[in-house]
Structure 1
Amino acid sequence: MKSKPIKIFKIFLFLGTLLSIVFFSSCSRKITLDEYVTKELEKNIRQDSLIYGVHFGMTGEEFQRYCTGMNQKKIFMPNPSGTNVRLEISNGFGTPVYLNFFPVLIGKSPIRKVNASLKYKKFSYYEEKHKIEILVNQAITYFEEGYGGNRFFSIPHENKLLKFMYVKIDGNRKILLKPTFEGQELEIEFEDLSNGKDSIKE
């Protein structure tokens, strides 16, 4: 027959192990996106830089004036439909890409959101090097090296047929990469979170 002290010792050992598992599980819990946004905003660091001199806080008039100047330098061009500004990027993607972008303009309010898309200049479904997965990885590297700061991390995609979207948050600036189902282009959202997450409605 086992003595009472040994039984008590085993009970305490079991409870100690159980508490340790619970403790380490809670410590290793993944932070939610909302918590991450809150943590970044609490730093009170502004990151307003966006695309080749375009930045949060510009008015629509300032944006138009700036783009006109960049167009005269042959850096910014209109896309074929005339609805977006087009920038050709030759380095960082293996083959040239088009970055199309335009801000969400609300009256005379400063720019707080810019919608963009990235696509290979000579995209072909038959080219292995033009796969959307490759474009996503190249875009992640391009933006991380260009902006510095935090790295991208994956979040569930809005489209259940696709796995992930990728987000990078530095202070008030959120960059969201959204692969498209068609696989031709990568949608990008630049958003100023300083007035709260997802506070901008189009």
Structure 2
Amino acid sequence: MKVSGIWMKAGWTLVIAMAILACAKEDRYQQMVARELAKGVRVDSLFFGIYLGMPSKDFFDHCLQLNHRQLITQGPGGLSVQHIMKNELK
């Protein structure tokens, strides 16, 4: 019985130590997020002028123009963009 009690205490000690370490990592993460946001630089560009957070109407209008220029086609389901690379990787 004493052996299982020792293992139980060791297990709880391990759980508490992991919880403390997990919180410490989040603090470093939050510091990095704050530091990067303070720079004021947005990196949201994807390709062909499409960017993250683009309003739906702007996205569909822009994709229609790119489709007319035959740069992209409609992707699966009609809610995505498909671009087939031909010579870009040579």
TM-score for the superposition, normalised by structure 2? 0.52
The structure in which a higher percent of residues are strand is 1
1:63 matched residue in structure 2: 59
Equivalent of residue 80 in structure 2, options 70, 78, 84: 84
Equivalent of residue 69 in structure 2, options 70, 73, 82: 73
Using the aligned pairs only, state the percent identity: 27
2:22 matched residue in structure 1: none
1:32-181 correspondence to structure 2 within 5 Å? 32-56=28-52, 58-90=54-86, 91-92=88-89
Q: Which runs of 5+ in 1 are unaligned?
A: 1-30, 95-202
Could you list the per-position Cα deviations for residues 92-123 of structure 1 after superposition, in whole angstroms to 9, with x for gaps in the alignment? 4x6xxxxxxxxxxxxxxxxxxxxxxxxxxxxx
Q: How far did 1:80 drift? A: 4.1
User: Which amino acid in the other structure matches residue 41 of structure 1?
Assistant: L
User: Which amino acid in the other structure matches residue 85 of structure 2?
Assistant: I
Give the direction of change, closer, same or farther, for the CA distance of 1:36–1:89 in structure 2 (3 Å limit).
Answer: farther
Q: How far did 1:51 drift? A: 1.7
The structure in which a higher percent of residues are helix is 2
Give the direction of change, closer, same or farther, for the CA distance of 1:51–1:34 in structure 2 (3 Å limit).
Answer: farther
Matches of 1:83 and 1:45, distance apart in 2: 28
TM-score for the superposition, normalised by structure 1? 0.27
Output the aligned Cα RMSD.
2.6
Q: Higher relative contact order by CA 8 Å / sep ≥ 6: 1 or 2?
A: 1
